[in-house]
Amino acid sequence: MSILAYVRSVRTVLVIALAVRVVAVGTLASLTMLLGAGLVDLVTPLGVVTRAALLVIAAVAGVATSASLAWRDRRVLSLERVALWIEERFPSLEFTLATAVETGDDRVVDQRSAEHWTTTALRRAARVVRAPLASIVVAGIIVLTLPGGVVARMRAPHRGDSIDRATLGSRTNASRLTPLVARIVPPAYTGEQSTTMDEPRDVRAIVGSTITFRGRGKGNGIVARRGNDSIPAASDNDRWSIALRVDARPAALRIVDRGFERIVAIEPVADAAPVVTLVMPSHDSVLRAPTGRIALAADVRDDFGIASAAFEYIVSSGEGETFTFRSGALGATRPNNTRASVSAALALESLDLKPGDVVHLRAVARDANDVSGPGVGTSETRTIRIARHDEYDSVAVEAAAPSDEEKSVISERMLIMLAEALEKVRPRLKRDSLVGVSRGIAADQKRLRRTVGEIVFTRLGGESPGEEHSDEDSPSRGKTMQDMLARADSATNRSTDPIDFSGGESPVVAVNQPLLEAYNAMWDASTELEVAEPGRALPHMRRALAAIQRARAAERLYLRGRPPEVVVDVNRARLQGKDKGTSSVRQASSASDAATRRRIERFANIVELATRNASAAIDSLLLLRIDALADAPAFATALSDAANAMRRGRSSAATEALARARRLLAGAPVARDSLTRWGIVP
Amino acid sequence: MLCRLAAFALLGWLLGGSLIPSAGVRIERASTDAIASRLPAWTRVPAGVLLQLDLATTPDLWVADWLAALAHSGHAVTWSGSPPAVAMSSEAIADPRGSVRIDVAAPPGTAVVIHDSASVVDSVRVSQLGATVVTPLAMGTLAGNAGGQRFSAPSPDSARLRAIVVIGNASWEGKFVVAALEERGWPVIARFHVAPNVDVAQGADVPLDTGRVAAVVAIDTTVQSLGAALERFVRSGGGLVLAGAASLAPATARLALGSLGARTRPSVLPTDTIGLGATGFYPVGALAADGVVLDRRAGGIAVAARRVGAGRVMHVGYDDSWRWRMTGGAGSEIAYRDWWSRVVAAVAYLPGAGPTVANASTASAPLAGLIDRLGPARPIAAGKTPRRPVDRRLLLALMMIFLLSEWGSRRMRGLR
Amino acid sequence: MTSEFVFATAQYDSGDWDSAPLLPANIIDTIARYTEIPVAPTGVVVALSDDRMLRYPLLYLTGHLPVRFSDAERRNVKRFVERGGMLFVDDHNHDIDGVFHKTATEEIARTIAPLSELPNEHPLFSAFFKFDGPPATSHELNGWGDNLVHKHLLAVRRAAGNRIAVLFSNKDYSSEWNYHPESKRFLTVDNTRFAVNLVVYALTA
C-alpha cells in the first residue's frame, strides 16, 4: 500500500470518529435539554405549547451543536492536515510525510512506521468517541428510570397528556379530578375533527357531540351529575372516564370524587339551518302567457354541510273559493358542501297554466344533521301569476247570508262517506243489517233532498212543500220546477250591465240549475239506497255533490274593480243586539322577568360570597352563566369575563365585568342631576 | 468633672421639665391625609395639647370618633377648612324588582360617584342642590365619593308591595298598561268595562284601602264607578294615576292636578316609530298650586303630580301610550314596562320604614357628623408653632455618654 | 290617530289576502251591536311588510293560496307578537290538507312557535258570550274543504300565562262572516257572536 493510501486510511478513521462524536454530542445536547425540561415538568406542569417549543429548541440545539463541532474539526478532511497529524505522533518522519503529500512523491518517507499510523488513529478515535457515547448511555439509563409520563410528554406533547404526567409522590386521598382531560368528538355528519382540552372549565361543543372526561385513578366513587342525571365513571387500567352526549340545553356538569368537586360548563352549539337566498327570479312577475322558461338560481350556505337543495313550486288554480293546487320540485342536488349554488329552469308549458293561475316558487335546502333532524332552510317566495284578461283579481260582492243549503243537517259529502263505508263492509254484513243501514242513509238522503227542494221552490216563488206528501216523489214535480225556472229566468234577466258570469248564464239559472240537478241526483241515489245498493247509489250521490258545489260557486258573482267600502253606522247599531254577554274573568299573568329576578337574587348572593370565598364565588358565577346562556347571552359573557378575571386575580377587570353584568341583568340606573321627591318618571 | 456637671445638668433639666408645667400651649397639626396615622401618637401626648386639623375633606367616621374621644380626654381638638357638605339617603322604591333610590346632597358642580359592594352604580354631576339616582339593583353598602369626600349608607330592605287597581273601558291602553305592570311583577286588580253590566275583571273585588291596594290607575272616566271611595283611599295614603282624560270623572274633581286641556295632536303624524307622547296627550290646563311638573312638552304639561292628604296623585296625559310599546324603536316594550312601573312607583302607597335618612350618627352625612363631634370649624391659632420638645431618649443617651466619659477619664488617669 | 278599536286585515304578498272583503264591516257591526267598545266604522288593510302593521294589535289574516312570508313580513310578524299583538288566522279553504293550512302553519312555526290545540275551556270561549268550544260553521257542517268539523282551534300561547299570541282556525269563519251586515236580519241566530269574544279577549287579555 502506498504512503498516500495509508494517509487516506488514517483520514477515513478520523472522519468516522469525528462524525460519531458530532452526532453523539448533538444528541446528548438535545437529550440533556429534554431531560431538564422533563424534570421541570415533573415539578411544575408545562403547557403543551411550551413543551412543543422546547422539543423544537432541543432539536435545533442538537443540530447546532453538531454543526458547530463539525465545522470546528472540518480540517480532518484535508490530507495535508492528516499528514501533519501523523507527523505529530511520529516525529521520526521529520516532515517527510507532509512533503510527500504535498508533492505526491512518497519515496522520501520512511515506510516502516506507516503500518502503525492506522492503529494510532483508531486509538485516537476510540478516545474521542468514548465520552460522548458513554454520556448517551448514561442519559439513556436516566430516561429509563424516569416515570414514563415524563418521557412521553416531552417526546410527543399534545393536548390531553396532562393525565400522563407523573407526580412526585402520591397521596391516597388526593383528588382524582385533577388533572382532568376532556375529549370532544363532534357528530360524524359535521366532518369536524375531535379536540382535546386540558383542565376544562367551559366546553363548547356541537349538539350531539360526545364528551369524554378522563382522569387518573380508578373510577369507583366518581360520578358526574347533570341536572337530575347521574353518570358513574368507568375504569380502564389506571384511568377513569365519563362519557356523555351534548344536548341542546346548556348544563353545568358536576364531577364529584368523594369530597372533591369540579364544575364544567357545557355550552351547546346548535347546528344552524341552511341559509338560502333566491337569486333568480329576483322579483314577482305577472305574465301574459304561460310560455317560456324561467331561470331559477339560489345560493345556499350552511355551517357544516348541505345535504340536499331543490326548488319547490306550488301551482294554485281557480278563483273565489274553488281552488286546486299542484306542487312539485326541480333542480334537486346533493352538494355535500358548506356553500353551493343551485340552478334550474322552469318550463311554464310543462305546468299547464291557465289565466289566473299563480305559481309560488322557493328554494329549499336541508343539512345533514342526523342528531336533531335535518335543518331546513327556505328562501323567500316568488310569485308568478298568469294574468287574466281583465288584469284584476276578482272580488266577491254583495254576498248574501249563507244560503240555506249550506246549513244541511248532514252533508252530502258525509252521506257519501257513509255509503262508501257501507259498500266496503258489505261482504261481511248480513242482509238484514245491510238493508237497515242502507235505508238509514236513504232516509238522510231524502231529508237532504227535501231541504234542497224547499230552497229551489222558495226561490222560484213556489209554495213551500210543507209536510211530507207522497206526490212529492212524483217525477212531474221536477218538470214543474223546470218550468218555473225558465219563467224566473226570463223575468229577471233584463240587466244590461256589463257583468261577467261563468258560462254566460243568468244569475237565476246559474244558481238554481245545479240545485235542480242535485235534487234529481239525490232522488236517484235514495232510490238505490232503499233497495240496499249503496254501490249503485254512490255515482248519483257524487253527481249531487258536484252540483251543490257548482251552485255554491255560482253564488259568488264577480264584477270588475273593487266593491264599495262598507261603512258601518256604529251609532245606529250600538247595543241593538238581541243577546247579552256576561262578565268574564281575566287571568293574571306571571311576571315576564321572573327568571331575571331570580338571577338578580343569585347575582347579589354571589357578590356577597366573593368577599368571603372567591373560589366558591367563581363556581357560582359559572353556574349562573350556564343558566343565562340560552336567553341572556350578553349577560352570560359578562359573567364569564368576571369569573376569568377573578381567577387570575385581576380585581379591577373583575369589577368592570361585574358592573357590565349587573347592567345587562337588571338594567341601567337612571340618574338626574337634581333632587326630586317624585322619582324619575319621564 | 465637666462631664459629671453636664450629666447632672441634663438630669436636672429632665426633672424640671416633668415637674414644672410649660408656660406655652403645645400645638399638634395635621391635614386630612395625615390624621389617621397621627392618632396613635396623639393618644399618648399629655392632655392639654392642642390638636389642630386642617381639613380639605371630612375624615372617616372612626377618625372623627377617635378625635372626639381625645377631645373628651382633655385635648383641645379644633379643625378648620372647607370640607364639602354632602349627605346621602337611600330608599327602597315601590318596585317588584327592588329598585333603590339614592339621593345625594352636594354643592353644585360636584361630580358624585356612587358604588356598592359589587361595582360602580352610576355617576352624575350635581346641577343644583343634589342628585338622584334610581338603580334597579343595590348590593351591600352604598358608598359615594363627591370631590374626594367619601360617604356611605346601607342598602334599604325591599319594599312590600300591594296591588295596583287598573280600571277603564276595554281598550288597547288598558290592556297594555295591565300587561306592562304584570310583566314587571306588580300584582294587578283589573276592571275593564265592555257593555252594560258586562265587565272583564281580574282579581278579587277588594275594598279600596291601603291595606290591600297601593294605587289606582284610571285609564279613562270609568273610574267614576269607584265613587267617593277613591278620594278616601287617596287621602289615607293611596296613590292615584289619572291617565288620559280620566280627570274628567267627577269623582276625581278634588284630586286632579287642575283642569284638563284639549287633547293635543301633532301637526305631522309619525310615519315610522312612535315614541311616548308622539301622537298627542291631554295637558293639564291650570295646574294646582301644589302641583309639581314632571314632564312638560310643547303642547303643555304632560305629567304632573301633587300630594293630596297622605296620598299622591299623578296626571299622565297620554291616553295611547301603548303605541310606544307596539310601534316604538328597539327595546320599546321594555322601556314602556319600566316607565309605567316608575309612574306607579311614584305614587304607590308603601308601608314600613321610609328612607334611610342621612344623620349625624352614620357615615351618610360626614360633615354633620364631624360638627356633631367636634363642633364647628375654628380659625387656626395665631403665633408661631413652638418647637417640638427634645426627645428624652436623646437626653438620656447624652447623659450616659457623659457619665461614661467621666468614668473613662478616671480610668485613664489611673493608668497614667 | 284614533283611540277606537280599528279592525285590521293583514295584507301579505304571496296570496289572496282579500278573499273575505265584507268580513271587517260585519265584525265592526257585531262589536257595536253587543258592546260599548268604541270602534271605527271601517276597517283598514295593512301590509305585513310595513312597520305600520304594529299600530293594530289585533290582525286578521286569511286566504286560500299559499302563505309565504317575505323577510320583511316575517320580521314584522315576529316583532308584532313579541310586543303583545295578537294574530288571528283563518283558513278560507277549510282544509287541513290544503296549501293555506300547510304553508301558514309552517310560517307561524318558523316565525313564532309551533301551533298547538287550544283547550275549549280557554277564557276566549267565555270572554263575552259562552261557548263550549269554537262554534261550528255552516261550511264545515256541509263538508266543505276537508270534510271535518274541527273541535279545536289552534294557538300559540305566550310563555308567561295562557295568553294567545296567534289564533289559528280551520273552521272557515272567513266564509261564515263574509257577508254584508245588513244581512244579519235574515238570521235567526247571529253567527258572528264569536267575533265579539275574539275582540273582547284581544282588548282585555
Using a CB-CB distance cutoff of 8 angstroms, which residues of chain C are in contact with residue B192?
Answer: 203-204
Q: Which of C52, C160, C203 sits opposite B172 (nearest CB)?
A: C203
Whether residues B170 and B28 fall in one domain: no
Among the partner residues C37, C80, C85, nearest to B170 by beta-carbon distance: C37
Number of domain units in chain B: 3
A127 and A201 assigned to the same domain: no
Q: Considering only the beta carbons, identify the residue of C71, C123, C181 that sits closest to A587.
A: C123
Among residues C184, C187, C2, the alpha carbon closest in space to that of A573 is found at C184
pLDDT over 70 (residue A179): yes
Q: What is the mean pLDDT of chain B?
A: 87
What pLDDT was estimated at residue B33?
86
Whether A160 is in a domain gets the answer: no
CA B67 and chain centroid, separation: 26
- The pLDDT of residue C85: 96
Is residue B356, in this structure, part of any structural domain at all? no
B171 is in which domain, residue-wise?
163-347
The span from the CA of C137 to the CA of B128, in Å, is 69
Q: Can you say whether the dihedral through the CA atoms of C50, C56, C59, C63 is positive or negative?
A: negative
B141 falls within a domain: yes
> Smallest CA–CA separation between C156 and chain A, in Å?
16
* Local confidence band at B174 (pLDDT 50, 70, 90 cut-offs): very high
DSSP state of C123: G
Is 90 exceeded by the pLDDT of residue A202? no
Where do we find the cell 422546547? Answer: A54
Q: What percent of chain A has pLDDT over 90?
A: 36
* Structural domain includes residue B394: yes
pLDDT at A204 over 60: yes
Provide the pLDDT for residue A398. 23
CATH number at residue A259: 2.60.40.10
pLDDT at B265: 86
pLDDT at res. A367: 93
Is the confidence at residue A401, as pLDDT, over 70?
no
Tell whether the model's pLDDT for residue C123 goes beyond 80: yes
CB of A486 within 8 A of CB of A494?
no
Distance from CA of C116 to the nearest CA of A (A): 20
Mean pLDDT of C159-177: 91
The pLDDT score that the predictor gives to residue A529 is 93
N residues, chain A: 682
Count helices and strands (H / E) in chain C. 6, 7
CA distance linking residue A275 with residue B329, whole number of Å: 27
Q: Are residues A295 and A237 both part of a single domain?
A: no
Query: How many CB atoms within 10 Å of residue A578?
Result: 9
In a domain, A231, yes or no: yes
Q: Do residue A385 and residue A429 come from a single domain?
A: no
Last residue of a domain, one of B132, B158, B184: B158
Closest residue of chain B to C124, computed from CA coordinates:
B200
State mean pLDDT over A581-597.
85
CA atoms of A403 and C187, how far apart (whole Å)? 10
Residue A672 belongs to a domain: no
On whether any CB of chain A is under 8 Å from the CB of B105, the answer is yes
CB pairs under 8 A between A and B: 154
Q: In this structure, is residue A573 part of a structural domain?
A: no
The minimum CA-CA distance between B33 and chain C, rounded to whole Å, is: 56
* Contact across the interface for B325 and C84, Cβ inside 8 Å: yes
User: What are the residues facing B122 on neighbouring strands?
Assistant: B114
Q: Which of B129-143, B303-317, B389-403 has the highest mean pLDDT?
A: B303-317
DSSP states along A550-568: HHHHHHS-B-SSPPPPPPP
Overall number of domains in chain A: 5
CB C36 to CB A575 under 8 A?
yes
User: What pLDDT band is residue A551 in, cutting at 50, 70 and 90?
Assistant: low
Burial class (CB in 10 A: 0-12, 13-18, 19+), B263: middle
Residues B276 and B392 in one domain: no
Domain that holds residue A253: 177-269
pLDDT of residue A592: 74
Question: Cis omega (within 30 of 0) on the bond before B40?
Answer: no
Average pLDDT score over residue span A233-243:
91
Residue where a domain stops, chosen among B158, B175, B208: B158
**Cα–Cα distance for residue pair B67/B371, rounded to 1 Å:** 12
- Higher local confidence (pLDDT), A43 or C126: C126
Whether B198 and B281 share a structural domain: yes
For residues A417 and A510, state if they share a domain: yes
pLDDT of A275 higher than 90: yes
CATH of the domain at B111: 2.60.40
Domain boundary among A235, A269, A303: A269
**B115 DSSP β-pair partners:** B120, B143
Task: Please write the tens of the pLDDT for every residue from C99-114.
Answer: 999 999 999 999 999 9
Per-residue DSSP letter, B223: G
More confident residue, B22 or A424: A424
DSSP β-ladder status, A251-257 and A222-226: antiparallel
- Average pLDDT (B236-264) is 94
Strand B300-308 to C8-11 pairing: unpaired
CB A159 within 8 A of CB A179: no
Domain boundary among B106, B136, B158: B158
pLDDT at site A400: 28
Residue A164, domain member (yes or no)? no
* ipTM (interface pTM): 0.95
Q: Do A593 and B190 touch (CB under 8 A)?
A: no
Tally of CA atoms within 13 A in the half-sphere of A601 that contains its CB: 8
Report the chain A residue with the minimal C-alpha distance to residue B140. A608
- Whether residue C35 lies within 8 A of chain A, CB to CB, comes out as yes
A517-529 burial string, b = 16+ CB within 10 Å, else e?
bbbbbbbbbbbbb
In this structure, the strands spanning B27-31 and B50-55 are parallel
Query: How many Å lie between the alpha carbon of C124 and the closest alpha carbon of chain B?
Result: 12
C119: phi then psi, degrees, rounded to nearest 5: -60, 145
Of C37, C38, C54, the CB nearest to B327: C54
Q: What is the pLDDT of residues B343-362, one digit of tens each?
A: 999 999 988 655 666 555 56
Give the minimum alpha-carbon distance from B169 to chain A in angstroms, rounded to a whole number. Answer: 13
For residues B208 and B242, membership in a common domain is answered with yes
In a domain, A191, yes or no: yes
Residue range A556-569: average pLDDT? 56
Statement: residue A69 has pLDDT above 60: yes
Mean pLDDT of A534-542: 92
Whether residues A296 and A212 fall in one domain:
no
Domain-ending residue, one of A536, A554, A572? A554
Which chain B residues are closer than 8 Å to A681 by Cβ?
294-295, 303, 305, 314, 339, 342-343, 346
Is the Cβ–Cβ distance between A176 and A201 less than 8 Å? no
- Three-state DSSP class for residue A464: coil
Q: Domains in chain C, start-ordered, CATH in brackets?
A: 8-204 (3.40.50.12140)
- Phi-psi sector, A202: left (phi>0), alpha (psi -120 to 50), beta: beta
For residue A75, the model assigns a pLDDT of 87
Q: Residue window 10-69, chain B: list those with CB within 8 Å of chain A.
A: none
Contacts of B135 in chain A (CB under 8 A): 669
- Rounded to two decimals, the pTM is 0.72
Q: Indicate the pLDDT class of residue C63, thresholds 50, 70 and 90.
A: very high
From A425-434, B42-51, B96-105, C63-72, the region with the lowest mean pLDDT: B42-51
Instruction: Among A177-191, C31-45, C178-192, name the one with the lowest average pLDDT.
Output: C178-192
Average pLDDT over residues C178-202: 90
Question: Is there a single domain that holds both residue B217 and residue B123?
Answer: no
Chain B residues inside the 8 Å CB shell of A674 = 126-132
The reply to whether A460 and A527 lie within a common domain is yes
